[in-house]
């Protein structure tokens, strides 16, 4: 029997494509499952509008440094002029003039410009790091909102399953004459309430996932790992927000020095050469000259620029002091919140253990006919409330640890 080669190759190609799709799906699933908060930050940073503009800002700072390091404050200029009588007498009178003008640095100006450019470069880097930290804070909040929403949705799903099982058992016993109609109604009402809460939890989960996707451009990972509790030790690195404020203050101070040194425009040194003749019969004559232009200063202009630079420097110093104080208070507040959340989580777990034991007793009593359905539903509702409280306190602790890292300036 002859095998059709093209058909055989087509089946083999389809099988190979299916295998590739399967392997790709496994890789995507693994990547989504194993993604860390740091990797999510890289995703969010790669698409942040201000992050996209950072290379251009660094190029701007580098260009400012190149200007400050140049030999002249601005590029030289070359001018060429010609005058003749060809349009009136036309006796052959002709004159050519060429001039090269070079701006000159005043004493101290170049050093202040270099200091300003260095401060500007430091300010760009500091702002970039502070911006990354700000984005990390937004991502941390979205991270734990998703985790809490997932736990709430899972708990609501579990409540639906138990409510449906209870409804089925209650209806069976009602039809057998063991339970009253009111018990059947209570069981159905419990199932409807559970389904309503599950729908609300699904809506909250979708909104949380959308907020995360807006930040990172990707779906949230399957597993959301918690951060490690930071060590509160002395000598920790400077907080990026504080470093950015210090860089802004340093740049404002450098610009104040520039304003004080630049009280007039840069002088110009010009070298010119003239080549002319009086008529057609006269030979050309050459002459060489030097010109120094010194602009006068304006008191009003000096006061305007100095006052503006002084205002910026004063404001930057005040903001730096305020940010330094705020960071100390935020760090202490975050530390206390973590301790409180840890204590509340322990209390919530104790309550969960008590309500779980009460529920076991209530289920046993209801199965033996020693208590009514209302008592069982109350015990079950209390147990679900305790479990929800444990989930919330656990998320509050994890989120508190992340906020403590945020206040310390620790990036994921």
User: How far apart, in Å, are the Cα atoms of 363 and each of 240, 257, 373?
Assistant: 56, 80, 9
SS3 content of the chain, % helix, strand, coil (to 5): 70, 10, 20
31 lies in some domain: no
First to last CA, the chain: 65
**Per-residue pLDDT at 234:** 63
For residue 184, give the CATH number of its domain. Answer: 1.20.1600.10
On whether the CB atoms of residues 152 and 204 are closer than 8 A, the answer is yes
336 lies in some domain: yes
Q: What is the DSSP letter of 91?
A: S
Question: Can you tell me which residue has the tokens 């034991």?
Answer: 357
**Per-residue pLDDT at 284:** 87
28 lies in some domain: no
**Per-residue pLDDT at 276:** 87
Low-confidence ranges of the chain (pLDDT < 70): 1-34, 233-236, 298-299
- For residue 248, the enclosing domain spans 36-408
25 lies in some domain: no
18 lies in some domain: no
12 lies in some domain: no
Count of domains forming the chain = 1
Number of alpha carbons in the 13 Å side-chain half-sphere of residue 122: 17
**Per-residue pLDDT at 78:** 93
21 lies in some domain: no
13 lies in some domain: no
For the whole model, what pTM was predicted? Answer: 0.78
Question: Secondary structure of 90-142 in the HEC alphabet?
Answer: CCCCEEEEEEEEEECCCCCHHHHHHHHHHHHHHHHHHHHHHHHHHHHHHHHHH
**Per-residue pLDDT at 298:** 67
**Per-residue pLDDT at 262:** 78
Task: For residue 111, give both structure tokens.
Answer: 């050093």
């Amino acid at each position: 029997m002859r095998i059709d080669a093209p058909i055989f190759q087509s089946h083999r190609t389809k099988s190979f494509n299916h295998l590739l799709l399967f392997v790709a799906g496994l890789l995507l699933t693994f990547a989504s499952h194993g993604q860390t908060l740091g990797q999510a930050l890289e995703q969010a940073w790669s698409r942040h509008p201000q992050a996209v503009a950072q290379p251009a800002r660094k190029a701007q700072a580098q260009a400012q440094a190149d200007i400050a390091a140049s030999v002249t404050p601005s590029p030289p200029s070359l001018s060429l002029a010609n005058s003749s009588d060809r349009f009136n007498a036309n006796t052959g009178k002709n004159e050519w003039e060429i001039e090269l003008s070079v701006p000159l640095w005043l004493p101290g100006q170049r050093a202040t410009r270099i200091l300003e450019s260095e401060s500007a470069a430091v300010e760009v880097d500091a702002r970039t790091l502070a911006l990354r930290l700000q984005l990390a804070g937004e991502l941390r909040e979205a991270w734990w909102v998703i985790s809490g929403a997932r736990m709430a949705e899972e708990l609501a799903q579990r409540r639906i399953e138990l409510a449906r099982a209870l409804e089925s058992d209650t209806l069976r016993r009602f039809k057998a004459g063991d339970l009253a109609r009111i018990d059947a109604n209570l069981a159905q009402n419990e199932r409807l309430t559970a389904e309503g809460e599950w729908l609300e939890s699904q809506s909250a989960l979708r909104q949380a996932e959308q907020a995360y996707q807006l930040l990172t451009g990707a779906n949230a990972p399957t597993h959301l790992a918690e951060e490690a509790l930071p060590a509160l030790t002395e000598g920790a690195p400077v907080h990026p927000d504080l470093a950015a404020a210090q860089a802004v203050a340093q740049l404002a101070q450098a610009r104040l020095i520039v304003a004080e040194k630049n009280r007039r425009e840069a002088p110009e040194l010009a070298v010119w050469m003239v080549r002319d003749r009086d008529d057609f019969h006269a030979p050309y004559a050459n002459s060489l000259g030097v010109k120094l232009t010194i602009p006068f200063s304006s008191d009003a202009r000096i006061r305007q620029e100095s006052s503006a630079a002084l205002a910026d420097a004063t404001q930057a110093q005040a903001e730096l002091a305020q940010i330094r104080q705020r960071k100390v208070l935020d760090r202490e507040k975050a530390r206390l919140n973590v301790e409180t959340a840890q204590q509340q989580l322990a209390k919530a777990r104790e309550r969960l253990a008590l309500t779980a034991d009460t529920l076991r007793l209530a289920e046993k009593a209801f199965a033996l006919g020693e208590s009514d359905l209302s008592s069982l539903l109350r015990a079950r509702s209390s147990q679900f409330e305790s479990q929800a409280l444990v989930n919330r306190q656990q998320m509050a602790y994890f989120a508190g640890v992340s906020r403590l890292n945020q206040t310390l300036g620790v990036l994921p």
